[in-house]
Amino acid sequence: MNLDRVTILVKRAALEAEKTQLPILQAYDLTVAQYKFLKYLFNAPKDSVRIIDLETAFSVTHPAAIDILKVLEKKGYSMRIVNPEDARSKIVSLTEKAYAEEALLRGLGDEMEDAVTKRLSKKEKEQLIRLLKKLVGI
């Protein structure tokens, strides 16, 4: 395996990041995918996120998005409601429980970021962020 290939290194870095994040989230009975959905919902205007928005943001299939949402619903973090502008689609809404735990959950994001980047200096982290944004076109 050629370890000088960007595609291989990006994938390995993503897998390592997930391995680092998982133990932090397991203490709160969350997976990385569930956490990402919650964070996206916290950052969006209230009751504005459609299921397709989550699919697009995370490059997941509709069935995968539904599976993640079903678990979040079972855990009491979210619910799906009919979109008032288009009854064929659903809006994902956060529950009172989610908002009550928002500060804690956002703090987990900082903890995971620190754990993933602990081997980088501040300058290296800034450079990595800049390069990854360029790589993904943002």
Locate the DSSP E strands across the chain: 49-50, 78-83, 86-94
Check residue 1 and give its pLDDT.
60
Average pLDDT over residues 88-95: 93
Check residue 86 and give its pLDDT.
87
3 pLDDT more than 90: no
Counting Cβ atoms within 10 Å, is residue 78 exposed (0-12), middle (13-18) or buried (19+)?
buried
123 pLDDT more than 90: yes
Average pLDDT over residues 15-26: 94
| Confidence grade of residue 138 (pLDDT, cut at 50, 70, 90) | confident
Q: How many Cβ atoms sit within 10 Å of the Cβ of residue 108?
A: 19
Phi, psi of 129 (to 5 degrees): -60, -45
Check residue 107 and give its pLDDT.
92
4 pLDDT more than 90: no
pTM of the model: 0.84
Enter the tokens of residue 63: 């069935």
- Rounded CA separation 77/70 (Å): 10
